[in-house]
């Protein structure tokens, strides 16, 4: 990993094997799904949406397999074939590092999650790039990354001040930045750029009913979308999988934090693994 620091914080940017950001398109429609967190019922429900099924590309915005059904999530991503473009989340980095013995697991759940991946799945995670750029009709080139353009664990929220946004986006050559990580859905203009987060498919922070998955459709504009799924199935699968953190995961599904609280907390922390 080519890491640097920001105010004493380690930044986790592109890996050492990565060259310039890969660019794709032009295309008409892109479905953006972020923070799946191995919630298979939510993932499958969103993939079944007609606008996702017919999109030219499906950008998966990181934190793919860190949850109760990681191997199954990996297999469904593979089934999307060349339509799927993945970017690396901080949780994907953790899983890959633990799975390759580059990092020692710090909790029983970290060990458990890494062990649920096949060697092929771990290998896949080690190859996921930090960011991609896609030329989209009506929007032009769009930069996709998990946290921010400078680190996979920097938090970008609807409350991020223009000064910090200007700093984190300084290297961009696009007018639209799409990020995940905060599990919050939003679309705003800040510091002269458009900042979009599709929200989380598998573990969203929101004030709607449990069993709501969040995503976005890009082209020719930005459409923020939701999909309802069987949350009781997700709860049952988490418990059946013997996820060591199943009850906390279930509590977040059934009693998600409200966005206002998350924004305040995120802006006080800025970087969160």
Annotate 187-208 with DSSP letters as a single string.
Answer: EEEETTEEEEEE-BSSS---SS
DSSP 8-state class, residue 24: E
| Burial of 164 (C-beta count, 10 Å sphere; 0-12/13-18/19+) | middle
Whether the model pTM is above 0.95:
yes
Confidence of residue 3 (pLDDT cuts 50, 70, 90): low
Q: What does each C-alpha distance from 184 to 31, 101, 236 come to in angstroms?
A: 17, 32, 25
Q: What does each C-alpha distance from 212 to 70, 187, 231, 234, 250 come to in angstroms?
A: 20, 18, 8, 12, 14
List of domains in the chain: 22-269 (3.60.21.10)
- Rounded Cα–Cα distance for residues 145 and 157 (Å): 14
Q: Quick one: which of 74, 87, 95, 91 has its CA closest to 33?
A: 87
Residue 6: predicted pLDDT: 73
pLDDT digits (tens, 9 = 90+) for 192-247: 999 999 999 999 999 999 999 999 999 999 999 999 999 999 999 999 999 999 99
3-state secondary structure at position 212: strand
């Amino acid at each position: 990993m080519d890491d640097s620091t920001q105010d004493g914080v380690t930044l986790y940017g592109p890996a050492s094997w990565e060259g310039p950001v890969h660019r794709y398109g032009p295309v008409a429609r892109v479905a953006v799904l972020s923070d799946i967190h191995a919630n298979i019922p939510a993932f499958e429900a969103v993939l079944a949406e007609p606008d996702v099924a017919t999109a030219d590309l499906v950008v998966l915005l990181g934190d793919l397999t860190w949850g109760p059904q990681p191997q199954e999530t990996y297999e469904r991503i593979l089934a999307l074939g060349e339509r799927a473009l993945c970017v690396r989340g901080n949780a994907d980095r953790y899983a890959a590092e633990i799975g390759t013995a580059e990092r020692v697991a710090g909790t029983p759940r970290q060990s458990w999650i890494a062990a649920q991946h096949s060697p092929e799945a771990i290998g896949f995670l080690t190859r996921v790039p930090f960011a991609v750029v896609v030329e989209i009709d009506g929007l032009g080139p769009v930069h996709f990354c998990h946290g921010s353009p400078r680190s996979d664990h920097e938090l970008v929220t609807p409350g991020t001040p223009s000064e910090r946004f200007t700093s984190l986006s300084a290297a961009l050559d696009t007018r639209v930045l799409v990020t995940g990580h905060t599990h919050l859905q939003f679309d705003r203009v800040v510091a002269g750029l458009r900042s979009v987060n599709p929200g989380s498919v598998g573990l969203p922070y929101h004030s709607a009913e449990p069993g709501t998955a969040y995503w976005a459709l890009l082209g020719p504009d930005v459409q923020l979308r939701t999909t309802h799924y069987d949350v009781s199935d997700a709860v049952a699968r988490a418990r059946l999988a013997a996820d060591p953190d199943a009850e906390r995961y279930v509590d977040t599904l059934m009693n998600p934090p409200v966005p206002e609280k998350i924004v305040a907390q995120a802006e006080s922390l800025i970087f969160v693994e």
